[in-house]
Amino acid sequence: MYRTILYKNDMPKFQELGKKFLDYYKNEMLYKMKYFYDNKDKQKKQIIKTITKPTLLIGDSEKTLKKINEQEINFIFTSPPYYNAREYTNYKSYNDYLDKMYRILLECNRILEDGRFIVINVSPVISKRSGREFESIRYPIHFDFHNILTKSGFYFVDEIIWIKPEATVKNRVGGYQQTKKPLSYKPNCITESLLVYRKNVPFLLDKNILKYKNFKIDKNAKFNSTNCWYINPKNDKNHPAVFPEELCEEVLKYYSFENDVVLDPFAGSGTFGKVAKKKNRIPVLGEKNEEYVKLLKDKYDNL
C-alpha cells in the first residue's frame, strides 16, 4: 500500500495521501522511496567528457575543481588534512576546517558521476596542550566527516578499518603500562578509517555496473573479504603523510574500473595518481602546496 501511494505521485488524491502519510511516519526509508519515485522519469543529463589524460590541478581544490564538468569523475579517493595535525595547514578553528572540507566535498559531489563512490581516509587527531594546566583536545574527525558528507549529497555505505602494525605507531600507552592506574588508559591507535560513501541518486548500483559491459571478470582474483585491512604504513622523506601503494591498489580494485577518471583532491606526494596510472585509470590530482606541486611535476612529467 505504501508503495502504491508514493508511486502514483501524479494523481492529486494520492499526492495528498502521500503527504499525510510521510508527515505521520517521517521515516527515512519512505523518504527514500518517494525520492526514487519522484525522480524515476527525469531526463538524464548529458556528461561532457574532457579529461583524457592525467591532469594536475594546482591550487586550492575548492577553486580548481570548478574547472571540471559535472559528473566527469568516476571515483574519488583522498586523505584530507587532519585539521592542523601537519605543518601544511593552519585553520583558525575546527569549525573553520570542517566548513572548508564541506565546500570541497560539495564540488566533489557535483563532478562525481551519479551513483559512484567517494572514499575518505581520516582518523582522530589531538591538538597540543596550551599549558600544563590545560587538557589537550582530541578531535573525532571521522565522525564529523559523516555529517559533512551527508550534507553534501552522499550516503553512508561502509567503514573500512585500515590496521597498522603496533610497532609503527606512536606509543600512547606507556603511562598506563607503568602505573596501571584506571582512567589514565590511552591505547595505541593502530587504525585509520576509510569512509565509503555513494553519491545520492534515485537508482540502484546495478545501473552503474551495467555501463561496463566489456569488463572481464577474473574469478581467481584475490580480495579482502572483511572491512579490516592489514596494510603497513609508508614513510616518505618528502611528505609527512603518504598513502601506502597497497591501500590505493585495494580501493581502486573495489570502487573503479579500468579507464575510469579518478580524483584525489588532496594529492600530496601523488601516490594515488601513480598507482592509478599503473592500474590503467586516468588520475586527476589537486594540490595547493607549492613544494609538493613541484615534486608532483618532477615525478610525473606528463601530468
Summarize as ranges the residues that interact with ligand SAM (CB under 6 A).
60-62, 79, 81, 88-89, 239, 241-243, 266, 268-269, 271, 286-289, 292
Q: Which is nearer to ligand SAM, 257 or 272 (CB)?
A: 272
- Min. distance of Cβ 10 from ligand SAM in angstroms? 44
Maximum distance among all alpha carbons in the chain? Answer: 72
Query: Which residue number places its CB atom closest to ligand SAM?
Result: 268
Beta carbons within 8 Å of 120's beta carbon, 6+ residues apart = 78, 79, 80, 145, 149, 194, 195, 197
Q: How far apart are CA 77 and CA 251, in angstroms?
A: 8
Q: Which residue has the cell 575546527?
A: 94
- Min. distance of Cβ 101 from ligand SAM in angstroms? 9
Beta carbons within 8 Å of 107's beta carbon, 6+ residues apart = 61, 62, 65, 66, 265
Distances (CA, A) of 242 to 33, 133, 150, 263: 41, 34, 26, 16
Handedness of CA 167, 171, 177, 178 (dihedral sign): positive
Q: Which is nearer to ligand SAM, 146 or 234 (CB)?
A: 234
- Min. distance of Cβ 219 from ligand SAM in angstroms? 32
- Min. distance of Cβ 271 from ligand SAM in angstroms? 4
Q: How far apart are CA 56 and CA 51, in angstroms?
A: 11
Q: Which is nearer to ligand SAM, 139 or 243 (CB)?
A: 243
Q: Which is nearer to ligand SAM, 127 or 289 (CB)?
A: 289
Q: What angle do CA 296, 300, 303 make, to 5 degrees?
A: 95
Q: Which is nearer to ligand SAM, 241 or 263 (CB)?
A: 241
- Min. distance of Cβ 285 from ligand SAM in angstroms? 9
Handedness of CA 57, 58, 59, 63 (dihedral sign): negative
- Min. distance of Cβ 259 from ligand SAM in angstroms? 23
Q: How far apart are CA 286 and CA 64, in angstroms?
A: 8
Q: Which is nearer to ligand SAM, 195 or 242 (CB)?
A: 242
Q: Which is nearer to ligand SAM, 62 or 72 (CB)?
A: 62
Distances (CA, A) of 30 to 22, 47, 202: 7, 30, 13
- Min. distance of Cβ 128 from ligand SAM in angstroms? 19
